[in-house]
Amino acid sequence: MNLAGTEVRKVERCGSTNTVLLDEGKPGVLLIADEQTAGRGRRGRRWYSAPGADIAFSLSAEVAKPPPGLSLVAGVAAARALRALGVAQAALKWPNDLLVGGAKLGGILVETLPARCRARGAIAATDRFARSVHRARPRARH
């Protein structure tokens, strides 16, 4: 399925929607997962998105020069979009939590790769990124 030039794909289960898109390296893909088993949050926290209870998705894109604070830019845009859709109490809590009425709705994780290098974990300024916005709760995995 295509949506305004973006390929939309849905999978039942994956480890991390960001990882799938970063590994593919193809811009313009929106990947939605019913269940995400190895999502990542700040400080290396693991996130599990339960099927039927949470939403996990990532959008891949290429930009010529990512702005400083890209995660903050994405968060502000998401909060504004929610307010435009009628969620009046939508807000952003530094640095990446989306809140509604003071309760956490979800989080944003921006990951980047250098344009000419497929090495994972690169920190340098880049022109490729995947953004993951998800409503999920950290869960202990036993």
Q: Per residue in 91-108, pLDDT tens?
A: 998 878 888 888 888 888
Closest CA relative to residue 51, chosen from 35, 33, 32, 31: 35
Q: How far apart are CA 79 and CA 95, in angstroms?
A: 12
Answer for the pair 112, 68: CB distance below 8 angstroms, yes or no. Answer: no
Check pLDDT > 80 for residue 13: yes
Query: pTM value?
Result: 0.76
Residues with Cβ within 8 Å of 59's Cβ and at least 6 positions away in sequence, in order, are: 6, 21, 29, 30, 31, 130, 131
Check pLDDT > 80 for residue 142: no
pLDDT at 136: 46
Reported as type and span, the H/E element at residue 99 is strand 97-100
Fold of 2-135: BirA Bifunctional Protein; domain 2 (3.30.930)
Answer for the pair 126, 114: CB distance below 8 angstroms, yes or no. Answer: yes
Dihedral angle sign, alpha carbons of residues 95, 38, 87, 7: positive
Quick count: other Cβ atoms within 10 Å of Cβ 30? 20
Average per-residue pLDDT in the chain?
75
For the chain, domain boundaries: 2-135
Answer for the pair 51, 35: CB distance below 8 angstroms, yes or no. Answer: yes
